[in-house]
Structure 1
Amino acid sequence: MHLPSIVIALILLIIIWFYIDLTLGRKKHRSFFQKRETPILYGNFDIFPHGKELFADYFQELRNAQNHIHILFYIVRDDQFSQQFFDILKAKAREGIEVRLLVDQIGSHKVKKPAIRELRNAGVQFAFSNRIRLPFLFYSSQVRNHRKISIIDGKIGYLGGYNIGKEYIDQDPKLSPWRDYHLKITGESVPFLQREFFIDWNEYASDHVIVDSRYAPRQPKGTVPHQFVPTEAGFLEEKYFHFIENAKKSITIGTPYFIPSKKLIDELLRAAKRGIKITIVVPYITDHMLVQEASYRYLRKMLLAGAQVFQYKNGFYHAKSIIIDDHLCDIGTANFDKRSLFLNKEINCYFFDPAFVERFRGVLHKDILDSKPLKLEDLNKPNFLRSIKEGIAGAFSFFL
């Protein structure tokens, strides 16, 4: 057999292996994941759209911790800002505070062994989430823990789009200022957020923790009705479909990556056809190769259907949100893309309070004012290089 034939055969075998691994891995994942969501609970919320303000508040609350600190992030970098974060955790652990840090193995691959050793020597309990495991090596390499959760003393929670790295506090010249949404939470739902953390912790850490009143003390009610919904293995698509299907007047989507499934894009087009006003906010600049080109085929369809699309120009837009009519909004960790829909572990907070929805609409309106309308003629201008990128992006859109 000639060398070219051998190479082609090997490539075909790899493709077949990828397909079988992905298909069987996803099937197994769906078989053991049980859908779970909190009941409607009541809490109080601060919204942080700027990283500097968020982390000033967050770091201060970490320093004030009295009993325990439990943290899950997708990305922790190896830079000065991350070192400041580590220094706070080590100092609290030396005080005798229980500190647990869980980070995604691939998203936080820059956290090296010396840094982990220092954390553990100081008393911080550290673990990698979503390690690559047999028998489905390819599938497990793609299923990332994209959740960002922090719980302090079982009384204060944080949830949203920010990670730990210099870009999130506007120290990356290309992506600054970084625009995102992160929630600070108090009220009766924080213990539920604590339980979600330990579900992930118990899957990957060496010790198995039973959550009791030490970690999840009963908290007084707040004023804003909401619900936490963790998703993985494709169940987020069902949630989003239900929201779109039941919209009566308007749908507003903010996302850094607009790469919906066929089921969701079809339902959005049906919503537009029945007169629903649809607004989509996406970045003008991109932080990952091909994700922008992957979105164009869907944005063309939405523009043809009468939707408004805005490209955020005052920095990089990484926020994740959905507003339905005047009574529901979603803020969380999930992007409006196939990776968040079908692969990643995510957690979103859904709000059912018209006053809070109106409050958040003001935040999103500010972002629209800082955006440029995207026109269909812009996307339809002949551009050979962009067309090539769109073709490649379309082939790999499931993984972008």
Structure 2
Amino acid sequence: MDYHSPYFFGYLLGLIHLLGIGAALHAVFTVRTAQGAIAWAMSLLFIPYLTLIPYLVFGARSFYAYIQARRQANQEMHVAMANLNWRPWVEEALAARESVSYVALRAMPKLGRMPCLANNEVKLLINGTATFEAIFTAIERASDTVLVQFFIIHDDALGQRLQQLLLRKAAEGVKIYVLFDQVGSHALPSRYSQVLREGGVQIQAFSSKRGWFNRFQVNFRNHRKIVVVDGLVGFLGGHNVGDEYVGAHPRLSPWRDTHVQVSGPVLACLQESFAEDWYWATRELPPLILPDAYPEDGVLCQVLATGPADPQETCQLFFVEAIQSATRRIWITSPYFVPDEAVVAALRLAVLRGVDVRILIPSRPDHRIVYAASSLFAFEAVRAGVRIFRYQPGFVHQKVILVDDDVSAVGSANMDNRSFRLNFEITLLTIDRAFADQVEAMLLRDFEQSREVTAEDIRDTHRLQQLGMRIARLISPIL
């Protein structure tokens, strides 16, 4: 065949367009949202040369087959747990019914798979140094079992410190289980895991597909960050394991993030979330520990473990419910502000109700396309009366919500479609005035170090920048 013939190029272009049409039809039938389906289908129809390969990486997936497999694995896991006398929390769960603030979140008892439990202790951990010192101290004191789960683990100074600590505890006879996301930790060398295995640590990569192709499947990622030590103390929030999270990334430093330390009955829920993910990866249960007794006093907490296998879009509905429940204020901080129509509508209605609506976002991009789309959404929110703040000192990565006087949430979920529908996320909802006051003080310091986006900023944005933002927004449903 003459590869320089115009007929050859004509056949090649025709083949690409046919593949684009087939991929567009696949997107129409499989993408979960109308916006996402339109974004993929139109781009595949008109510019398949640019979008076929990205669709294979970002969009094409056997969604329902995966969901059914994941649900089946979860069911098998719970059957395996049936003989463990798990979930001994009836009295703690009943206490939530007496909380006026929790009752105001009317959908939460049914939205979350795990109940709201009383008698917990929660500590706010601001930024990487406080977070990892607390985590490492807890692991140092471990005597039985340590569960560790992160989206990203780097083989840098912080990653090496974690590795050496886990090896030392494993040598002491402590059972160590480590789970990391295969795509999130794509840069982690195999030697890192091998050293841990040789030292007696159980370590596994979370993958949505078996085999080598999983490296190209960026959907269904496990974005959770969980550490549980001896069933007595746990940690969750926004930090991953990497030097940038303790401020060692020159372009984004100082890194602004938030974690929480928790103990009490809610740790059973945190362990159950880890067990579901570990069972999916290994078809085995990790050790699960229940203390002999819990504190007799403490705060109400609910773990919200969300993911694409949920019967409904739990993470997105949680954001909507939190915004709709606000009567005085709703403050949100997220590194990626790419909301869908339901969340945008809830924010607009909150403003119309007279609620103080504030959103804290970065002033520096770590992903330029997401940043561009986020900027346009921010401008539109400002026009609707939402107060948008850009954090100035460094990159803000925390995921925090504060509702009225005593409801707060800290976790791993961003305000975007990926967290709403495609990633596995973990959030701790806390109903307590004293803890909410700490969150308020933290966010007020963040707002003081931020610059509020104004109508002048919108007018001063160059036309080319606005064009880039609008193009980025067109693909925001698939970001």
After TM superposition, the score normalised by the length of structure 2 is 0.77
**Matched-pair contact (CA < 8 Å) for 2:245–2:255:** yes
Deviations 1:112-142 (A, max 9, x none): 22221111110110111133349x9799631
* Aligned mates of 1:54, 1:88 — CA distance in 2: 16
- Give 1:338's aligned residue: 417
Q: Does 1:223 align with 2:298?
A: yes
Matching residue's letter, 2:301? H
- Give 1:394's aligned residue: 473
- For the residue of structure 1 that corresponds to 2:257, the secondary structure is strand
- Counterparts in 2 of 1:139 and 1:253: CA distance versus 1, 3 Å: farther
CA shift, 1:314, in A, is: 1.3
Deviations 1:161-198 (A, max 9, x none): 00000101111111111111101112222232112211
Matching residue's letter, 1:242? E
Matching residue's letter, 1:343? L
Matching residue's letter, 1:165? G
- For the residue of structure 1 that corresponds to 2:120, the secondary structure is strand
Q: Does 1:273 align with 2:347?
A: no
- Give 1:124's aligned residue: 201
Q: Does 1:349 align with 2:428?
A: yes
Matching residue's letter, 1:304? R
Q: Does 1:254 align with 2:333?
A: yes
CA shift, 1:274, in A, is: 2.1
**Matched-pair contact (CA < 8 Å) for 1:191–1:218:** no
* Aligned mates of 1:71, 1:230 — CA distance in 2: 16
**Matched-pair contact (CA < 8 Å) for 1:132–1:141:** no
Q: Does 1:365 align with 2:444?
A: yes
* Aligned mates of 1:112, 1:165 — CA distance in 2: 14
CA shift, 1:17, in A, is: 4.0
**Matched-pair contact (CA < 8 Å) for 1:75–1:164:** yes
* Aligned mates of 2:429, 2:341 — CA distance in 1: 23
What are the residue-to-residue correspondences of 1:77-88 with 2, within 5 Å? 77-88=154-165
Deviations 1:60-102 (A, max 9, x none): 2212211111111001112222111111111111221100000
**Matched-pair contact (CA < 8 Å) for 1:158–1:184:** yes
* Aligned mates of 1:387, 1:218 — CA distance in 2: 59
CA shift, 1:264, in A, is: 1.0
Deviations 1:286-332 (A, max 9, x none): 21121111112322222112221110011110011111111211111
Matching residue's letter, 1:185? V
What are the residue-to-residue correspondences of 1:13-24 with 2, within 5 Å? 13-18=22-27, 20-23=29-32
- Counterparts in 2 of 1:376 and 1:138: CA distance versus 1, 3 Å: farther
Residue ranges of structure 1 left out of the alignment (5+ in a row)? none
- Counterparts in 2 of 1:18 and 1:305: CA distance versus 1, 3 Å: closer
* Aligned mates of 1:344, 1:46 — CA distance in 2: 26
Q: Does 1:59 align with 2:136?
A: yes
- Counterparts in 2 of 1:231 and 1:371: CA distance versus 1, 3 Å: same
**Matched-pair contact (CA < 8 Å) for 2:118–2:298:** no
* Aligned mates of 1:317, 1:183 — CA distance in 2: 16
Matching residue's letter, 1:224? V
**Matched-pair contact (CA < 8 Å) for 2:390–2:453:** yes
**Count of paired positions:** 396
- Give 2:18's aligned residue: 9
- For the residue of structure 2 that corresponds to 1:103, the secondary structure is strand
- Give 2:42's aligned residue: none
**Matched-pair contact (CA < 8 Å) for 1:194–1:216:** no
Q: Does 1:110 align with 2:110?
A: no
Residue ranges of structure 2 left out of the alignment (5+ in a row)? 1-6, 33-60, 76-111
- Give 2:319's aligned residue: 240
**Matched-pair contact (CA < 8 Å) for 1:192–1:216:** no
Deviations 1:212-267 (A, max 9, x none): xxx23244225221111111122111222122222212111111111111111011
Q: Percent identity?
A: 30
- Counterparts in 2 of 1:238 and 1:27: CA distance versus 1, 3 Å: farther
**Matched-pair contact (CA < 8 Å) for 1:142–1:399:** no
**Matched-pair contact (CA < 8 Å) for 2:376–2:470:** no
* Bigger radius of gyration: 2
RMSD of the TM alignment (CA)?
2.3
Q: Does 1:383 align with 2:462?
A: yes
* Aligned mates of 2:159, 2:214 — CA distance in 1: 29
**Matched-pair contact (CA < 8 Å) for 2:124–2:438:** no
* Aligned mates of 1:304, 1:268 — CA distance in 2: 12
Q: Does 1:298 align with 2:307?
A: no
* Aligned mates of 1:8, 1:93 — CA distance in 2: 56
Deviations 1:18-42 (A, max 9, x none): 5545458445566648951233232
Decide which of 69, 90, 100 is 2:167's aligned counterpart.
90
Which structure dedicates a bigger proportion of its chain to helix? 2
* Aligned mates of 1:19, 1:63 — CA distance in 2: 51
Matching residue's letter, 1:95? E
